[in-house]
Amino acid sequence: MKKKYYLRIFAILILGPLLAGCGSPGSDYSAPCEEKQVLFCEDFEGISPDLGESQLVSSTAFDQWWGTADDDQEYLFLDFPVSGRSRTNMILLGDGYYKSQSSSFLYTVEIDLSTSTRADLQYNLIYRTEKHWDGLVVFAVKGGIEGAGSENNWMMLTPRGGYPDTILFNGTIIPGYSGTYPYWIHETIDLDPVLGGKFVVGFYFVADDVLEDWGIGLDDIVIQADS
């Protein structure tokens, strides 16, 4: 059952029906987006739970949604702080707990690096998932979301220092964020592989068919480039 399921996961990660629908702990709160001079920035302040007016999209092609949250009280059982890194809001997967046997994709608006020679993606992250089975992987899709139908347009992005778990989905060769990281970490990914074109960045979460847990919190998603 497990083997069959993670093979299905691998196929989803590569193609996904989108058209249908580790680092070290950070020490400071990130500056709000209005103070940044960058190509892309989302700190989820003033954004409704359904991501209205957000620069990110929770794909309708999958079976679990992302939404903003600013209330610590619901998550005190975690025994670690979960409020957003910049001021209050962050984005959470699901409603308290993610669903088993589910997949979720959160992606940016189209990013144009046609004239850039250097760029990187930065984000803050906190998580608690079933280790080695459920987790998050970051992708770039070349050609914008319209290019998602071809596996040649999908590219796994790796943070500086690598992903903390190297055997995500138990036995596959896919690395990712899995297990428990009980405080916010700041991550950076070099975007050199997608320079010279247009793409979207996607945060892809997949869970197997057994356990559920708290999930993933993201905040302060920033893309900066030299032009």
Condensed to tens digits (0 to 9), the pLDDT of residues 122-179 reads 999 988 888 888 889 999 998 877 777 888 888 999 999 999 998 777 667 789 999 8
pLDDT of res. 201: 92
Interatomic CA distance for residues 123 and 216, integer angstroms: 12
Name the more confident of 95 and 1: 95
pLDDT of res. 53: 53
Q: Quote the radius of gyration of the chain (alpha carbons, Å).
A: 16
Domain count of the fold of the chain: 1
Task: Write the CATH number for 134.
Answer: 2.60.120.200
Condensed to tens digits (0 to 9), the pLDDT of residues 59-90 reads 544 555 666 766 554 554 455 555 557 667 77
Among 109-118, 146-155, 178-187, 207-216, the least confident range? 207-216
Condensed to tens digits (0 to 9), the pLDDT of residues 90-108 reads 777 766 677 777 778 888 8
User: The domain containing residue 12 runs over which residues?
Assistant: 2-24+33-225
Count of Cβ atoms closer than 10 Å to residue 199 Cβ: 25
Residue 188 structure tokens = 């950076």
Closest CA to 123 of 213, 44, 48: 44
